[in-house]
Each structure stands twice: as structure tokens, then as C-alpha cells.
């Protein structure tokens, strides 16, 4: 997604500012039929039903189960070497954990941070996860058990493996509150940052449907929709459809952010406690109590909230309990209807990951200024009066949104409730101003194809200054495991200049190779004078030459072929330009040592000074500093 950068200082953390805002800075995810946030965004706006009837996991209709579920495209691939995972471990590692490792890397990079920068930092990891359906590796033939099943499938290892792989030193634990797990994880992460337990946090939610057993459990409890649809808020809602997803976000203190998706204004949780109807019956009153506490503590009038992303599973009991409690709080003294929706209508219910799926949808809406359409809504649920009397409006088609505050509500089937309030980042985007100077952008990747793909993306967003700045930040440090590097020259024309090559871990010396006489040409540094550092360096040389009646700046900017016929003019121009270029390279961090290069015998010169007649001094040596 295009970058939106706040007006704040760069950096990784600032431990002295405990009371500042916590912001969402990185986002990545895998969703049904969507391998990325961008693909998911397009599917949402196109109104695609991401729940499918196919046999990717088990035979259709097995045990009388509903035939439709939401499924990720690919879960069999994993670059174990890149993440430092031994083959024996990778073969028995829960695919949920493999996904989380990949997405954590993506979320860090999405925030404009190189993984090398955040290595060893006080970053927490909070993972919402309910089950590991790969646990058969723990109970197979005793003679085949090697211990790797335990370290690959134990849910405690999900956050701990992330902390280990990326060398994070903050709190690291898994959270299971069923369907509200990942939003609970987000609340815990915000609290940990606010109380100084960590400076930043990885928050994740994941759910895969590898076996039919859990689905059969929910089916026998009467929770699943026979049609395999989450008809949120609709009169025909009769259960939910299970779905897969994996989402990771990076949250940081505002002062450390290089980009901001949204500011977290409030985050709180509670639990229903004892209920006459039973443990799985949702309690709207307790959800309402929680929401009131959130807005009271954050000092926000609920009327300021323009959209609520509801839990919205489409069940007979859950929807009325939740939505009536929302209407009771948000719809008093409101001039316009409260907009409401549920991403579960588009992709199904991903249970422990669902809260972060809702967050992903909200961030997409905030970035694009458009709330995605809610599917399967035809007639209002009559048990929710606010849908019929106009106090609530289900987003039944893509709805323009002008920024402000949005909220996310979530509850687990055991009674654990969570509510999060977010404010969009109002900073307008800026484009790279038209400039005569070309811009070089360098990137690295795991494969040659990856680098080429990255460079194509850069070309597509070549006018997005903030995006290019983040690219520069990410690749200002080497990324371990990236064996290919490439660059592109953005020159404002259709002539694309790019190169990709393999690199090795061998450290090679940096050599400055300087051209000799004959390389001059009229106007050779005219455009470079637009660079302040270059211009300043030329001025230093120009000031040194002025007593000798050599007008260096005029030669460089306005010199023609005739004036370069004078060897003196050619020499001082070439030498000064080379000095200025080295000054720029030094400022960019390219070493400070100058290496020798022997020129043609005629050009063995050194800038040493001038005699009374303004003639050059020749020495039999090399040009060096």
C-alpha cells in the first residue's frame, strides 16, 4: 500500500516517551483467495465472495459438513533457509507458524524498517491463535518422534519462534480467547507499549482449517451456516462459515514511525462472566459496558465515530446482542446513520484471526477513503430495530469515507470481548516534485525475479516520494539472505534503466576510479549543481582558485567546447568535479578512503597549486588525496 508518513522524527524507539500515541505502522496478511493486502483490497472493492466450495482441505460434504469454507491459496511453500529453520524442523512445523514468520518479515518491511535495524530491540510479540491442527506430530509412532513436532506445533512457540528468529527481546506469548484472540493480542500489545514493557510490538492472528474435526464440532453445536455464508445483519442469517487467515501488524510509538496507517485511540477488553443462557451465549450488555468504558477513558464522544466494523458473524443470537448494544451507545444524538459492516460477509469467520482481518479492512478503508461493500445483506434483521428505523446503515456498496474515527468490535464464544478505536492519518500524500536530476533507487531480494518485481513496482510508483523514501530506509542496511541486488534510474522519461546482479557475502574494497584528461565536455556538471552538497564542494574549490583568476563555477555551468581546449580549464574542472562527487559519496556513507589509480603518462597530475603565471604544476605520480 502507498506510504503515508507522519510529520515525526525517524527512529526505532524512544523509551523516554511513555505517554505518546501508539500507531499502526506495518501491515501484511494472507486471506482466502488473496495472497497479499493489495489483492485482498481489490477483492473487497470488487465485491468478490472469497468463500469457495472445493476440496483443497477435505472432500466436499464430508460428515455432512457445509461444503463452503474460506481457504488460503497456498500453504505448502516455505523458505526455511531464509528464516534459519533446519529442514527437520521445517518438515513438521505448523504451517500457521511458517506463515507468521513470513508475514512478520513483510510487516516490518512495510513499516519502512530493515529487519537488521530492529534486531535486538525491545519488541514484543503477541499472537492470537486457538489451535494447532498439526499436533499429530506429537502422537505419531514413538519410534518416529524426534522432538521437532513439539517445537514446531506448540502454540507457545508461535510468538517465541518469531522473537527468536528476529531477535526481539520484549514480551512474547500466545493468546487464546477464541474468536476475539487477535484483538485481545492487540490490546495487550498497546498496554505493553504504554507501560514500558516494550517499545514496539508485532501483533498477529492466524487460523488454518487443516482437518474437519473442529468444523464438525462447531457444526454439531449448530453454529455453522448450512449455505456457507456469514449473512451479517440480514434477516436470513443462520450461522457462520469458517475461514482461514493470517495477519500481522507492527505497532510503534508515534515518534518512531516512518509511516502511519492509523492511531490507536483506545483498546480495552472484558469478559461476560456467568450467564443464565450458558457460556456460549453472547452478552450484549457486557459488550455495551466495555464500549462505554473505552470511550470514557479515551475522552471520545461516540458520536464522533463514523463507522463500526462489527464482529458480525450472521448468527441468530450473536448479531442482535452485538448490534443492539452498538446502536444503544453510538446512535444517540446522531445526525446521520452510523455506518456498520463486517468483513466476515466477504471472507468468512477466521475465528482467532478475525479481529485483525477486521483491522486490515479498516486500514484499507482509511488508506483509500472508501469503505468496502458488505456482502449477503438483503433485508434487515428484525431483531435489530436500528437497522429498520435508519439509525444504522449497513455498507451495502462501496461507501465514500472522508476520514476520522472508526471502531472495531469483537467477542469470543466463551464471552471474551474486545473493542478498539482508531483514528485515520490525515496527512496528505506528497509526490516527488518534477526535477531535472535522475534518481537512483537500489533494492535487494531473495531471487532475481523478486528484485525485478520490486523494481517494476518502483517504476509504477516513481512519483510517490514517501514510498521511495521508505524503500531507501529499508535498503540502507543489508538484509540477510538477500542474494540479489538491483537498481533503477528514475529519470522522468520512458527509458527505464535498471540492472540486477547476484552478490556474495564477500566484503570487497571500495575503489574510486577517476578519469583523466579527455573526459571533459561542455555542461558536464550543470545539473549536478542542483545538489546542495555538490554545489558547496565546488564553491570550496572555486574560492581556492579565484586568486589565480580561474572562474571554476562559470566553467562548469557555462563552459563550451572552445574553453575546454585550454588544458588548464579542462584539468581544474575535472578535478573539482571528482572532489565534489567523492564528498557526496562520503556523505552517503560510501567509505572515506581514496584508492590509487594510475593514469596515462600524460595525465599523471595532482592538484597542488599554481605558479605566478597560472600554469599547472606537474608531478610524476598519481592523483590522490
pLDDT in tens, 465-496: 889 999 999 998 889 999 999 999 987 666 77
Confidence of residue 433 (pLDDT cuts 50, 70, 90): low
Task: Write out the three cell numbers for 127.
Answer: 499472537
Q: What is the reported pLDDT for 299?
A: 96
Alpha-carbon distances, residue 103 vs 29, 186, 581, 611 (angstroms):
6, 16, 40, 66
Report whether pLDDT(13) > 80. no
Share of the chain above pLDDT 70, in %: 88
DSSP 120: T
CATH code of the domain made up of 439-502: 3.30.70.3290
Report whether pLDDT(615) > 70. no
DSSP 613: T
Residue 158, Cβ density class (10 Å: 0-12 exposed, 13-18 middle, ≥19 buried): buried
For cell 509511516, name the residue: 259
* CATH 3.30.70.3290 domain position(s) in the chain: 439-502
Task: For residue 342, give the 3-state DSSP assignment.
Answer: coil
Catalytic annotation present for 311: yes
Q: What is the reported pLDDT for 395?
A: 98
Catalytic annotation present for 475: no
DSSP 92: T
Q: Span 300-318, mean pLDDT? A: 97
Contact between 492 and 454 (Cβ < 8 Å)? no
Distance (Å, rounded) from C-alpha 86 to C-alpha 92? 10
**Active-site residue, selected from the candidate residues 105, 219, 311, 376:** 311
Q: What is the reported pLDDT for 48?
A: 98
Residues comprising the chain, all counted: 625
Confidence of residue 385 (pLDDT cuts 50, 70, 90): very high
Distance linking the first and last C-alpha atoms of the chain: 46
**Active-site residue, selected from the candidate residues 13, 105, 153, 179:** 179
Q: Rounded to two decimals, what is the model's pTM?
A: 0.85
**What values do phi and psi take at 267, rounded to 5?**
-155, 125
Per DSSP, helices labelled H in 376-447 are 385-388
DSSP 432: P
Report whether pLDDT(351) > 60. yes
**Active-site residue, selected from the candidate residues 13, 105, 349, 376:** 349
Task: For residue 24, give the 3-state DSSP assignment.
Answer: strand
**What values do phi and psi take at 396, rounded to 5?**
-85, -10
Q: What is the reported pLDDT for 430?
A: 66
Distance (Å, rounded) from C-alpha 183 to C-alpha 354? 8
Q: What is the reported pLDDT for 588?
A: 79
Task: Write out the three cell numbers for 586.
Answer: 562520503
Task: Write out the three cell numbers for 296.
Answer: 470514557
Distance (Å, rounded) from C-alpha 235 to C-alpha 224? 16
Query: Would you tell me the crossing angle of helices 354-368 and 37-45 to the nearest 10 degrees?
Result: 70
Distance (Å, rounded) from C-alpha 1 to C-alpha 564? 50
Q: What is the reported pLDDT for 591?
A: 64
Distance (Å, rounded) from C-alpha 317 to C-alpha 213? 24
Q: What is the reported pLDDT for 373?
A: 97
Confidence of residue 9 (pLDDT cuts 50, 70, 90): very low
Report whether pLDDT(597) > 50. no
Contact between 431 and 461 (Cβ < 8 Å)? no
Q: Span 518-531, mean pLDDT? A: 80
Q: What is the reported pLDDT for 463?
A: 83
DSSP 50: -
Q: What is the reported pLDDT for 139?
A: 58
Contact between 261 and 366 (Cβ < 8 Å)? yes
Confidence of residue 562 (pLDDT cuts 50, 70, 90): confident
Report whether pLDDT(414) > 70. yes
For cell 468463500, name the residue: 51
Digit-coded pLDDT (tens) for 319-346? 999 999 999 999 999 999 999 999 999 9
Q: What is the dihedral of CA 430, 433, 437, 443, to 10 degrees?
A: 20
Task: For residue 308, give the 3-state DSSP assignment.
Answer: strand
Q: Which helix (H) or strand (E) holds 200?
A: strand 200-207
Strands 22-30 and 262-271: antiparallel
Task: Write out the three cell numbers for 460.
Answer: 509504477
Distance (Å, rounded) from C-alpha 104 to C-alpha 97? 10
Closest C-alpha to 353, from 60, 15, 127, 605: 127
Confidence of residue 563 (pLDDT cuts 50, 70, 90): confident
How many Cβ atoms sit within 10 Å of the Cβ of residue 620?
7
CATH code of the domain made up of 528-618: 3.40.366.10
Confidence of residue 11 (pLDDT cuts 50, 70, 90): very low
Q: Tell me which of 247 and 625 has the higher pLDDT.
A: 247
Closest C-alpha to 577, from 620, 503, 523: 523
Report whether pLDDT(7) > 60. no
Strands 405-411 and 416-424: antiparallel
Confidence of residue 140 (pLDDT cuts 50, 70, 90): low
Digit-coded pLDDT (tens) for 222-274? 999 999 999 999 999 999 999 999 999 999 999 999 999 999 999 999 999 99
Q: Tell me which of 283 and 512 has the higher pLDDT.
A: 283
Contact between 283 and 415 (Cβ < 8 Å)? yes
Report whether pLDDT(599) > 50. no
Digit-coded pLDDT (tens) for 59-92? 999 999 999 999 999 899 999 999 999 998 998 8
Task: Write out the three cell numbers for 115.
Answer: 529487519
For cell 491463535, name the residue: 129
Q: What is the reported pLDDT for 79?
A: 94
Distance (Å, rounded) from C-alpha 575 to C-alpha 538? 10
Confidence of residue 613 (pLDDT cuts 50, 70, 90): very low
Share of the chain above pLDDT 90, in %: 67
Report whether pLDDT(579) > 50. yes
Q: Span 382-386, mean pLDDT? A: 97
Q: What is the reported pLDDT for 394?
A: 98
* CATH 3.40.47.10 domain position(s) in the chain: 1-51+68-208+244-260, 266-343+369-429
Distance (Å, rounded) from C-alpha 162 to C-alpha 98? 10
Confidence of residue 429 (pLDDT cuts 50, 70, 90): low
Q: Span 193-198, mean pLDDT? A: 97
Report whether pLDDT(311) > 70. yes
Closest C-alpha to 332, from 295, 361, 366, 358: 295
Lowest mean pLDDT among 97-106, 130-139, 311-320: 130-139
CATH (one of 3.50.30.30, 3.40.47.10, 3.50.50.60, 3.30.450.40) for 1-51+68-208+244-260: 3.40.47.10
CATH class belonging to 266-343+369-429: alpha beta
Q: What is the dihedral of CA 459, 461, 465, 467, to 10 degrees?
A: -100
Amino acid at each position: 500500500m502507498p506510504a503515508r508518513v507522519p510529520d515525526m522524527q525517524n527512529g526505532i524507539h524512544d523509551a523516554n516517551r511513555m505517554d505518546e500515541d501508539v500507531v499502526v505502522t506495518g501491515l501484511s496478511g494472507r486471506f482466502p483467495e488473496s495472497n497479499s493486502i493489495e489483492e485482498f483490497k481489490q477483492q473487497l472493492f470488487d465485491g468478490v465472495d472469497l468463500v469457495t466450495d472445493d476440496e483443497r482441505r477435505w472432500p466436499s460434504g464430508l460428515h455432512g459438513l457445509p461444503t463452503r469454507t474460506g481457504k488460503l491459496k497456498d500453504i505448502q511453500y516455505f523458505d526455511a533457509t531464509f528464516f534459519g529453520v533446519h529442514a527437520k524442523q521445517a518438515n513438521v512445523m505448523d504451517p500457521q507458524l511458517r506463515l507468521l514468520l513470513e508475514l512478520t518479515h513483510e510487516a516490518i518491511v512495510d513499516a519502512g524498517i530493515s529487519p537488521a535495524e530492529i534486531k535486538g530491540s525491545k519488541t514484543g510479540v503477541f499472537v492470537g491463535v486457538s489451535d494447532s491442527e498439526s499436533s499429530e506430530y506429537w502422537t505419531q509412532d514413538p519410534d518416529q518422534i524426534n522432538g521437532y513436532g513439539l517445537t514446531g506445533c506448540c502454540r507457545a512457540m508461535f510468538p517465541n519462534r518469531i522473537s527468536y528468529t528476529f531477535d526481539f527481546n520484549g514480551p512474547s506469548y500466545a493468546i487464546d480467547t477464541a474468536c476475539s484472540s487477535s484483538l485481545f493480542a492487540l490490546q495487550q500489545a498497546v498496554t505493553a507499549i504504554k507501560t514500558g514493557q516494550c517499545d514496539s510490538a508485532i501483533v498477529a492472528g492466524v487460523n488454518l482449517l487443516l482437518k474437519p474435526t473442529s468444523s464438525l464440532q462447531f457444526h454439531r453445536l449448530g453454529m455453522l451456516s448450512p449455505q456457507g455464508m456469514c449473512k451479517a445483519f440480514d434477516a436470513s442469517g443462520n450461522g457462520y462459515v469458517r475461514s482461514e487467515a493470517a495477519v500481522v501488524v507492527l505497532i510503534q510509538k508515534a515518534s518512531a514511525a516512518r509511516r502511519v496507517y492509523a492511531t490507536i485511540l483506545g483498546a480495552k477488553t472484558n469478559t461476560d462472566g456467568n450467564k443464565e443462557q450458558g457460556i456460549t451465549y453472547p452478552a450484549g450488555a457486557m459488550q455495551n459496558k466495555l464500549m462505554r468504558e473505552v470511550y470514557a477513558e479515551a475522552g471520545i464522544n461516540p458520536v464522533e465515530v463514523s463507522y463500526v466494523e462489527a464482529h458480525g458473524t450472521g448468527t441468530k443470537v450473536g448479531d442482535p446482542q452485538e448490534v443492539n448494544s452498538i446502536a444503544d451507545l453510538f446512535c444517540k444524538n446522531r445526525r446521520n446513520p452510523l455506518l456498520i459492516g463486517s468483513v466476515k460477509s466477504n471472507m468468512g469467520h477466521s475465528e482467532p484471526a478475525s479481529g485483525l482481518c477486521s483491522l486490515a479492512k479498516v486500514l484499507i478503508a482509511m488508506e483509500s477513503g472508501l469503505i468496502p461493500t458488505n456482502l449477503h445483506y438483503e433485508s434487515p434483521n428484525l431483531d435489530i430495530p436500528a437497522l429498520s428505523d435508519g439509525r444504522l446503515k449497513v455498507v451495502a456498496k462501496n461507501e465514500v469515507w472522508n476520514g476520522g474515527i472508526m471502531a472495531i468490535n469483537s467477542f469470543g464464544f466463551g464471552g471474551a470481548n474486545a473493542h478498539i478505536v482508531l483514528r485515520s492519518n490525515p496527512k496528505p500524500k506528497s509526490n516527488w516534485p518534477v526535477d531535472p536530476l535522475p534518481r537512483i533507487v537500489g533494492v535487494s531480494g531473495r531471487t532475481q525475479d523478486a528484485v525485478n518485481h520490486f523494481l517494476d513496482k518502483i517504476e509504477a510508483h516513481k512519483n510517490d516520494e514517501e514510498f521511495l523514501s521508505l524503500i531507501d530506509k529499508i535498503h540502507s542496511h543489508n538484509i540477510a539472505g538477500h542474494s540479489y541486488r538491483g537498481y533503477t534510474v528514475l529519470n522522468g522519461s520512458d527509458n527505464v534503466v535498471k540492472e540486477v546482479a547476484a552478490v556474495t557475502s564477500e566484503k570487497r574494497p571500495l575503489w574510486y576510479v577517476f578519469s583523466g584528461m579527455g573526459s571533459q565536455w561542455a555542461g558536464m556538471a550543470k545539473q549536478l549543481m542542483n545538489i546542495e552538497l555538490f554545489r558547496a564542494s565546488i564553491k570550496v574549490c572555486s574560492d581556492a582558485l579565484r586568486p589565480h583568476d580561474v572562474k571554476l563555477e562559470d566553467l562548469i555551468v557555462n563552459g563550451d567546447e572552445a574553453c575546454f581546449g585550454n588544458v588548464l580549464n579542462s584539468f581544474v574542472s575535472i578535478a573539482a568535479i571528482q572532489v565534489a562527487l567523492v564528498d557526496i559519496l562520503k556523505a552517503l556513507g560510501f567509505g572515506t578512503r581514496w584508492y590509487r589509480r594510475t593514469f596515462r603518462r600524460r595525465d599523471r597530475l595532482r592538484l597542488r597549486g599554481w605558479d605566478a603565471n597560472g600554469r599547472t604544476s606537474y608531478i610524476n605520480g598519481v592523483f590522490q588525496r
